[in-house]
Amino acid sequence: MNKRIKLRTLLFGGVMTLLFLILIGRIFYVQVVEGDFYYEKAKARWSAAEKLTAKRGTITDRNGNVLAMDTIAYNISVNPKLINELGITEEVIKGLQETLGASESDVRKAVTAKKENGEFYAHRELRQGGWQIEKPVADRLVLFREELKNELIRKKLGYDTGIVIDETLKRTYPQDNLASQLVGYITKEREAKTGIEAYFDEQLTGTDGIFRYLKDGARVQLSEGEVEYQQEKDGNNIALTIDKDIQYYVEEALRGIMEKYMPKSATAIAADPNTGEILAMANLPNYNPNEYWETDYANMFNHAVGSLYEPGSTFKIATLAAAVEEGVFNPDEMYQSGRYKIPGDTHVVRDHNPDGWGTISFLDGLKYSSNVAFVKLGMERLGAEKMREYYTKFGFGQKTGIELTNELTGSIRFQWNTEIAAASFGQGVSVTAIQQIAAVAAVANGGKLMVPHVIKSITDPATKTTTLTEPKVIRQVISEETSRKVGEYLEQVVSDQEIGTGKNAYIEGYRVAGKTGTAQKSIGGKYSEEKFMVSFIGYAPVDNPRIVLYIAVDEPKDGRYAGGGTVAAPAFKEIVLKSLRKMGVAPNWVPQEDAETEEIKVVVPEVKELKVAQAKEQLQAKALAFEVIGDGESVLAQIPSPGAYIHPTQRVYLITEQKDKLPVPDLTGVSLRDALELTSLIGAKLIPEGSGYVVSQQVAEEKNGRRIVRVKLLPPTGSELYDEAVAAIGDSFDSGAEAGAGDGEAAGESAEGANADTDAGENGGSGDAGDQSESDDAGDSQPLTNIEHSGEN
């Protein structure tokens, strides 16, 4: 018996010892041999990580107005498995549908999503209707989730509703459609598409950070636990060269063209000819990048850099500049207009007026936009080699280097005499709108071909380091003297109200140079008699260019009779006048009042008692210059009075404080009447000398503390009284002179030249502007409408 007990005791002890040894061995294996492996697995369970999302850089205009920015948004996801287990599927579907405004089918598809084996998913994103939602919508969803949670707690089913709301970032475009093709857009999946967004995606995209720490079971951070922190780095901020206001003027004018002529599209580029900075770039129709999914891709296309077309008569500027530079253009030399037989060929070049205008000067040929004149200058006098040399120097047939995707090169074909002759007046060559701008900017700025650019600066938000884009000269194409002469010739195309094809672009008070274009489009290898690309390009002021503007309109209705001078020139006039006023460019002369020129006057809006910001918006909408006098928040008075008719170049003064607190404003360019009213309003005494408009002022103070403002006035430059007034007034003030309020009111505080007659289109032929072909050789065999067969050998 005892022996059996001892045996069982030894057996039990042996088994226990063996088990203990196994346990010790296992512990040793886990703790020592594979200790690192299990420690890392434990750390993974203890650790929590939070992604620190980096913001994408902002895109602004040159003045800091935001065009694209990241804002807080929310993404919604659900747990179909949990929702099904809790039996709240229908409640969740109904609540999400009503709160988000999403479709019932999209919500149901996400909430009831199953795997292939029939099991419910544990996580599904509500991409349709619940992605990147705004905060007010997210707040409503939070309330619904709380109500559902309370109901679950009441039923003792837990507190997790299976609805997840994650904070994220959303790309927002505060200006909506403005400059949309230039800026581009970001998809909901944060993919960069088109424009600046795509071209500078790497610079705009930031680097996400991370915050990793150790937690307990309640997800509370352990005080002694390891912490890993890598700060996010936001993307670089980009300032564009465009001006939001000028961009608005351009798009507003293009909308007017679209409504009146119903073309396929309209494109415009405005630039500073001295720096190559793009001030505006627009295409209509456009789109709203905030709702990009509702737009056809065609509306996102930037024709300004990505479409090739034959330019027509606007291309004559390059031929003219080359002819003047080579000394073969004599404006007074006479020639026979109408037709020109191409040497050694059976074709004849004709003017858009087949009978011509008889024997006329080459300058008149420019004004009439005579093809014959330019074939003589180009093919006959410059020759093919020189022509091609200058066209290449002006940048045609090559990319400009602007910081945008999809820029095309175009082509110049000089194989046959007919092609050489046609190229002289802009037919048979293919160009882009941005090439036209760069070339004419070179003509305007003294002969320097600049690299056009849309980037003003790029700023690193972390280091505050800013990289500026400096103006870059490619080459000197023509001399400054040639540039000056060509400007004067092109000015007459606009200023000659009898025969100038660009007369509808004339701006009273400013010197404007320009050229029209009316080009037939190639349809099926033949030039259409009904489909045209019409255009206008020019710059102002001629003596000191501040803006060069190109407008192209694809297939306006009644194209045969709606040429560049009719369709594009009036829009050019509207945009340039508003832009010059926005830039503070003084007119070359003060327009004189004339009953025939009332149509260009602007009615001063009522802004009294408005907030200063609101008043500014109303005046900017009419492109009126203004000056705020005082530091008040509201407008107490305004000069000129509401409802007054003024010239667009005249300044509006906004008085925001009582007169004893007001400084003396800048009165330059103001009429005597307004100067008297202004100084009276601020409690100052005006002592004028001369008549007309204020050209200078001096402010002094009497012993009693009253301010005295001495002003010198002159009649409008160019008037009959001007030279006499200059001689009479001299260079100094008559210190004792004092004039009454009735002294010399200048005739003509505002006006513009007579409304020019509409011209039906100055150039009968040339090319295709709308096919967006990437091939530089497209249309090699196209016939030349302005070149006809003579029947001669």
Owner of token pair 């832009």: 579
CA dihedral 630, 674, 645, 622 (to 10 degrees): -30
DSSP codes, 619-677: HHHTT--EEEESS-SB--EEESPTT-EE-TTS-EEEE-S-GGGPPPPP-TT-BHHHHHH
Q: At what angle are helices 316-325 and 383-393 packed, to 10 degrees?
A: 110
Q: What distance lies between CA 215 and its chain's CA centroid?
A: 51
> For the CA atoms of 334, 340, 344, 346, what is the dihedral angle to 10 degrees?
-170
Total number of residues shown for the chain? 793
Q: Let me know: does 215 contact 185? Beta carbons within 8 Å.
A: no
- List of residues 6+ apart from 22 with CB closer than 8 A: none
> What is the C-alpha to C-alpha distance for residues 74 and 130, in angstroms, rounded to an integer?
8
* Whole-number Cα distances in Å, 116 to 77, 113, 119, 515: 20, 10, 7, 68
Kindly calculate the radius of gyration of the chain based on its CA atoms and give it in whole angstroms.
Answer: 37
| Rounded Cα gap, residues 58 and 199, in angstroms | 14
Q: Which of 692, 745, 742, 694 is nearest to 719 (CA)?
A: 692
Strand partners, 359: 336
Query: Does 640 sit behind a cis peptide bond, omega within 30 degrees of 0 on the bond before it?
Result: yes
Cα(294)–Cα(10) distance, integer angstroms:
86
* Whole-Å CA distances, 726 to 28, 587, 729, 741: 108, 19, 5, 21
Active-site annotation holds for 313 = yes
Q: Which of 180, 265, 307, 313 is catalytic?
A: 313
Nearest one of 278, 248, 260 to 578, comparing CA atoms: 248
CA distance 111 to 108: 5
Name residues whose C-beta falls within 8 Å of residue 532's C-beta, 6 or more positions apart in sequence: 518, 519, 520, 521, 555, 556, 559, 560, 562, 563, 761
| Residues whose CB falls within 8 Å of the CB of residue 149, separated by 6 or more in sequence, listed in order | 159, 160, 161
List active site positions: 313
